Amino acid sequence: MSKPVVLITGASQGIGAAIARVFAAEVPGVRLGLVARNEKKLLEVALGCAQAGASAEVFPCDVTDEASVGAMATAVAQRLGAVDVLINNAGRFEGASLIEMSVEQFDRMIAANLRSLFLVTRALLPSMVKAGGGDIFNMSSIAALTAYPGGAGYAAAKAGVAALSRVLRAELRGHGVRVCCVFPGATWSPSWEGAGVAEERMMPAADVARAFLNIYRLSRSTVVEEIILRPQLGDV
């Protein structure tokens, strides 16, 4: 695809920033749309992508808010045109057992990890369908597949991501839009700082990012429906 438009949510740090960097370095002519709430961090990522030779635009947005997402989608269409690759990476984690988790915490987990995906995809998908092609990557988690104490809200939200991805894939079959759901295990990012887990026990964000790029590069005859990535030393 010549000069594809790649939009990444949660692009200000961690896996999202790593995805932006690998696409910037290895996809000639790529035009990146970087989405997150923190504009300052987005600009830092955009600068790095520009130094790698890519065009990168920042779109500060609260992806849990319908009006904010609508405004972002309008701005993307005006500045970049139709999106070819949508990477729904935005999310957050708050640990608590079900009995200790407040309703507000649970709602934040659902909003950040699942509602955001619904809102952004609904806003950008019509142009993909109209164009007759595209790629959607949805970031789930190993938490959707492996139960662990303290993950009630997060695991429920990420399992919802997997289910919604399967529905999307069924609805989009025949429209040329591929849907891949990614289940990464522990991946090093700033959010792990102070958690007491050694960085070498986790996957580097660059490895996870490269999986996205390699799947994108497959011929249009093939779809990777789901992929599980785990640290070589096992789950943290």
Top pLDDT among 205 and 236 is at: 205
Q: Would you place residue 195 in the very low, low, confident or very high pLDDT band (cuts 50, 70, 90)?
A: low
128 pLDDT higher than 70: yes
As a whole number of angstroms, the distance between CA 71 and CA 4 comes to 21
- Pairing verdict, β 55-60 and 85-88: unpaired
What's the CATH superfamily of 5-229?
Answer: NAD(P)-binding Rossmann-like Domain (3.40.50.720)
pLDDT tens digits along 13-68: 999 999 999 999 999 999 999 999 999 999 999 999 999 999 999 999 999 999 99
- Give the residue-averaged pLDDT of 65-86: 98
Question: Mean pLDDT throughout 179-192?
Answer: 87
Does residue 1 carry a pLDDT above 60? no
- pLDDT of res. 148: 86
Domains of the chain by residue range = 5-229
Q: Give the mean model confidence (pLDDT) for residues 79-94.
A: 95
